[in-house]
Structure 1
Amino acid sequence: MLLAVDAGNTNIVFALFDTESDARPWGEIRTRWRITTDPRRTADEYAVWLSQLLALEGFARSDVTKVIIGTVVPRALHNLQTLARKYFDTEPVIAGEGGWDFPLDVDEPQNVGADRALNMIAAKETHPGDLIIIDFGTATTFDLVDYRGAYKGGIIAPGINLSLDALVSAAAKLPRMAISEPDSDSVIGRNTVDQMHIGIYWGYIAMMEGLVARMRRQAGRPVKVIATGGLAILFEKHTDIFDAVEADLTLHGLAILWSRSHKEG
C-alpha cells in the first residue's frame, strides 16, 4: 500500500491508498489521519503514532511498501523522509523534486506550492476544460488551469480562520467564536456574535464569488470551479459557484504523481 503524506502549514494528513484497487487507476483511500504540523516532531514520534493508528484500522506497518510526500513546510521534510526510510524501509518520492510534468505559465514557477500543483494534477485527471481550483487551507488559494493543463496563475487570500483570528486579536472586546454554517440567510445581526459571524462567513462568500466572477471574465472561456480543503463543505450549501467539491484532491494528486513516477521507473 501507498502512504501519501500531505504536510501543510497547519496539519499533516497521512492517507493509506490501496494501489491495487480498481476504483481509480491510482488507487483508493482506505483510511486517513491528521496531526498538527510541528517541524520538531521526530520520525520516531511519527512512527509510534502511525503504528497505533494502523493497528486500530487493522493494518500493519509492513503493509506500507511505498511513500510519497508533498510539503509546503521545508523544515518538516527531513523527519518525514527519515520516517519512510527507517520505519517503512522505502525511499520516498518527494512531490515537485525535479519539477512538474505540466507547464507553469507564471513569473515565478519555482515558488508554486506543492499542494497547489498536486491539486492541479488531480483536478485535470478527472475534469476537462478550464478549471478554477479553490483550496481552503491556512490560506485560501484560487488557481486557474487552462484546457491544455497549463497553470496560468491565481490568488492567495487569508484563510477564514486567519481572518477571524486577526479580527479577534485586534479588537479587545470581540469574543472568540467558531466558524460554522449560519442558521439563516440574514445579513443583519442582532448581537455582537451574530454580526461577527455574518461579517466573516457571508463576507467570505462574497469575496469568493467576486473573485471567481472576475477570474471567469479574465479567462474568457467557460470555467469549472473545483473546491477542496477541509472547509469547502462549510460553504457548499450557501453558494452556487462550486461545480464539484473534492475534499481529498491533494491526496489524490499525490497518489497520481506516485503512479506516474512508478510507471516511468
Structure 2
Amino acid sequence: MLLAVDAGNTNVVFALVDEGEVRARWRIATDPRRTADEYAVWLHQLLALEGFAAADVTQVIIGTVVPRALHNLTVLAQKYFKVEPLVAGQGAAAWTLRLDVPEPGSVGADRALNALAGHARHQGDLIIVDFGTATTFDVVDFDGSYKGGIIAPGINLSLDALVGAAAKLPRIAIEAPRDRSVVGRTTESQMLIGVYWGYVAMIEGLIARLRSEIGRPAKVVATGGLATLFDQHTHVFDAIEPDLTITGLALLAGQASR
C-alpha cells in the first residue's frame, strides 16, 4: 500500500492509497521542526484506529513545497516504514509532464502534481484552481503540458491580513452567506460579504480572462479544502476533485515503480 505525503505550507496530508483508491487520510499542521519520531507516534496511532499497521505500507512518496520538512519526512519513511521514499520531481519520481515555463524548477510540487492528475482524469485544456494557503490557477494544455498560471492570496490569508491591520474588526469564520445580498447590516456580515463575494468575483473574473487567453474551451477543475464552499455560489467549476494532489502522487509513484 502507498503512503502519499503532501506537505503544504499550512498542513501535511498523509493518505493511504491502494490500487488508486484513497483508503484513509489524515492531516497535521505543517511544522518543519516536527521530528520523524513525533510524526511516527501520531501516525501509527491513526493507522491503528483505521485498522492498518505500519507493515501495510510498502511504498512512500513525498511531495512538498516546504523544503525544510523533507528531511524529517524522509527519516519517517526510512526508520518507521523501512522504505526509501520517492520525492516528487526527483530521481525515479521525476516529472513525466512538460513544464513549459521559463523556470521549470520554480513550479511548486503541488501545482505540477495537480497538472499531472488533472490531465490524467480530464481531457482537453484545463484550468485547475487549488484553494490552499495561496489560491493558485494553473493552465494545463490539451497535451498535458503545464503552461503557467496565477498565484493569489488564499482567502484565510486575506482575512488574517484584514483583521491584523484593523484593530476594531473581529475575527470571523469563513462560510457561505445565507443569502445573495451584498448589503451587510452588521460589521461581521459586511466582512463576510467582502471576503466571500469578493473572492467569488475574483475567481470568476480570473477564470474568464484565462479562458479568453487560452482561446479554446477549457474545463475548470477545483481542488483544496475550500473548493466545495465556493461551489455553492458559483457555476464556474466543471468538476471538484478533493484528492487531486494525492492522485498526482499516486500516479507518479506508479510510474516510478514500473
Establish whether TM, by shorter chain, passes 0.5.
Answer: yes
Deviations 1:2-38 (A, max 9, x none): 100000000000000113xxxxxxx211000000000
Deviation at 1:100, TM superposition (A): 1.5
CA distance in 1, matches of 2:95, 2:14: 22
**1:38 equivalent in structure 2:** 31
CA distance in 2, matches of 1:58, 1:194: 44
CA distance in 1, matches of 2:209, 2:133: 23
**1:212 equivalent in structure 2:** 207
Deviation at 1:52, TM superposition (A): 0.4
**1:83 equivalent in structure 2:** 76
Structure 2: give runs of 5+ residues left out of the alignment: none
Q: Secondary structure at the match of 1:239?
A: coil
Of 50, 53, 58, the match for 2:51? 58
Counterpart of 1:46, as a letter, is Y
Deviation at 1:183, TM superposition (A): 0.5
Q: Secondary structure at the match of 2:156?
A: helix
User: How many residues of Structure 1 are paired with residues of Structure 2 in the alignment?
Assistant: 256
Q: Secondary structure at the match of 1:107?
A: coil
Deviations 1:168-187 (A, max 9, x none): 01111110111011100101
**1:22 equivalent in structure 2:** none
TM-score, normalising length from structure 2? 0.98
Structure 1: give runs of 5+ residues left out of the alignment: 20-26
> Identity over the aligned pairs, expressed in percent?
71
CA distance in 2, matches of 1:46, 1:94: 18
Counterpart of 2:88, as a letter, is A
CA distance in 2, matches of 1:227, 1:63: 31
CA distance in 2, matches of 1:169, 1:187: 23
1:246-257 → structure 2 map (5 Å cutoff):
246-257=241-252
Question: Considering only aligned residues, what root-mean-square deviation do their CA atoms show, in Å?
Answer: 0.7
**1:166 equivalent in structure 2:** 161
Of 84, 99, 103, the match for 1:104? 99
Q: Secondary structure at the match of 2:257?
A: helix
